[in-house]
Structures are given as C-alpha cells and as structure tokens.
C-alpha cells in the first residue's frame, strides 16, 4: 500500500511526538510522564530532561534510564533574558514538539514563551484561575475553598494564566494541613499530566489564535477523584 501520510514512517507507525521536560527538583511529574514512553504503543518520546539546577534529583533519575539530560544554571547569567536565551538554545537542539514545565521553578521571559508559543505546557497546583503563584495549598485552606486541585495549561506571558487544557480536583477537608493537601494534589498531578501528554502526543489538543483550547476525541476534561 502506498503511504500518503507524511507522518508515517516505513513501518506505517505514526511518528512519535518529541517532548523536552524542564525541572528544578525531584521531577516527580517528569518521572510519571517518562514512564509513558516505555509503552510500545505510546507516541511519546522524551528527548531530554533539562534543569536550571545541577542538583535536581530528577536529572539522576532520568540519566539512569538513558534519557539525555542537560543543565543551564541560572546563576551563571546576569539577567533573566540571557538565561532564557541560553535555555532556549539548549532546548531547540532536541527539536521538541512540546516543552513541558514540570516543577520548573523559574518565571520565563516573554522571549522564551513566544519562541515556544502554543507548545509550552505547565502544571500548576491549583484550579486556575484560582490561586496563581506560590503557596497554593495554604492559600486554598486559608480561603476555605471546598474544592482544590491542579491544572495543566498552555504557558503565556501572564504567569499561571494560560489557557487551561484539563484539571483534576478533590474535596478539601476542614482539618488537613497544607502539606497533607499538597500530597493529595500531587497524586492528582501524577494522573493528570501524563493523561494530557498522551492527548498531546496524539494531536488531540489544539489551541486557536483566540486562546481557545479544543480537545479532539477526548470525552472528559476533568480527571481525579472527588474524595
Ligand atoms: C508540584 O506541586 C507541581 O505542581 C509544581 O511543582 C511541584 C513539584 O513538582 N509545579 P515535581 O515533583 O518536581 O514534578
């Protein structure tokens, strides 16, 4: 059979989607995503794990599993723009279809965001637009919200305000501490982010010029338990 789809290679299997993951620490979300690539039928290919911190434990985890790693130490640059330009030079070498921020604790400049516009994704530990920024779990408890969770979203110039792709939520108990809530939300993150990455790898997520997200062939956008 003559194959017309350019995305198919000789074995008629669709090309895998190439992901670069940026981390700053443990990279537990990165670890969950990287496991996807082990599945033969997956279309996820992790090209590299890149960190702004040489001490990030996630780098060792990735390297031990044969994933290429790189460090761009933000302390070596005189300003944000120079760091972001150096980071972008490293990232583009891996020719990513998508760049995933997973516990990446740097605020990126508009130059970097625009260079990867439409293919730069982040996970934030709140139900955006509620609680952008830091200390989301303590703020959620302080505010007395009943539901809290995490959001996977496209990154735009406005911090933690990009178009949401999907969310996972849970009920906040009246007695739990921010640390306990953070751990429960992290469990949801580890369900949500890999699911969204699967959708991205299958071209099931589109973002239009008005910032509207459309999911194709996905029957649900809300993941996670309500306990
Ligand atoms: C997570 O809570 C995530 O939502 C936030 O960074 C925290 C650590 O993530 N972005 P990880 O374990 O480094 O993936």
- Domain locations in the chain? 15-116, 123-227
- Nearest-CA residue for atom 2 of ligand 1: 125
pLDDT at 213 over 90: yes
pLDDT single digits (tens) 46-60:
999 999 999 999 999
Residue 124 among the catalytic residues = yes
* Fold of the domain built from segment(s) 123-227: Rossmann fold (3.40.50)
pLDDT single digits (tens) 73-122:
999 999 999 999 999 999 999 999 999 999 999 999 999 999 999 999 99
The phi, psi pair for 58, rounded to 5°, reads: -65, -25
Q: Widest CA span of the chain, in angstroms?
A: 63
CA 149–ligand 1 middle distance (angstroms): 12
pLDDT at 25 over 60: yes
Same fold, 15-116 and 123-227: yes
Question: Of 29, 148, 170, which is best to mutate to test ligand 1, by the most ligand atoms within 8 angstroms of its C-beta?
Answer: 29
C-alpha closest to that of 206 among 146, 151, 163: 163
What CATH class has 15-116? alpha beta
Specify the pLDDT at position 89.
98
Q: pLDDT band for position 227 (50/70/90)?
A: very low
Specify the pLDDT at position 221.
65
What does pTM read for this prediction? 0.91
C-alpha closest to that of 191 among 36, 51, 71, 45: 36
C-alpha closest to that of 178 among 190, 186, 167: 186
- 8 A C-beta contact, residue 33 and residue 47: no
Question: Of 102, 127, 136, 224, which is best to mutate to test ligand 1, by the most ligand atoms within 8 angstroms of its C-beta?
Answer: 102
pLDDT at 67 over 80: yes
CA 212–ligand 1 middle distance (angstroms): 25
């Amino acid at each position: 059979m003559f194959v017309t789809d350019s995305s198919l290679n000789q074995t008629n299997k669709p090309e895998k989607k190439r992901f670069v993951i940026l981390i700053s620490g443990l990279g537990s979300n990165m670890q969950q995503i990287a496991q996807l690539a082990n599945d033969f039928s997956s279309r996820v290919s992790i090209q590299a794990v890149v960190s702004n911190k040489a001490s990030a434990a996630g780098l060792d985890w990735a390297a031990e599993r044969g994933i290429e790693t790189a460090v761009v130490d933000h302390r070596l640059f005189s300003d944000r723009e120079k760091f972001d330009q150096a980071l972008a030079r490293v990232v583009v070498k891996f020719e990513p279809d998508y760049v995933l921020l997973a516990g990446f604790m740097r605020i990126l400049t508009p130059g970097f965001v625009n260079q990867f516009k439409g293919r730069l994704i982040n996970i934030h530990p709140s139900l955006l637009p509620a609680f952008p920024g830091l200390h989301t779990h303590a703020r959620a408890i302080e505010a007395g919200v009943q539901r809290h969770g995490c959001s996977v979203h496209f990154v735009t110039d406005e911090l933690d305000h990009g178009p949401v792709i999907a969310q996972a939520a849970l009920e906040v108990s009246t007695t739990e501490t921010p640390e306990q809530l953070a751990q429960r939300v992290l469990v949801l993150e580890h369900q949500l982010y890999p699911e969204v990455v699967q959708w991205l790898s299958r071209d099931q997520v589109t973002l239009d010029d008005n910032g509207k997200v459309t999911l194709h062939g996905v029957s649900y956008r809300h993941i996670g338990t309500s306990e």
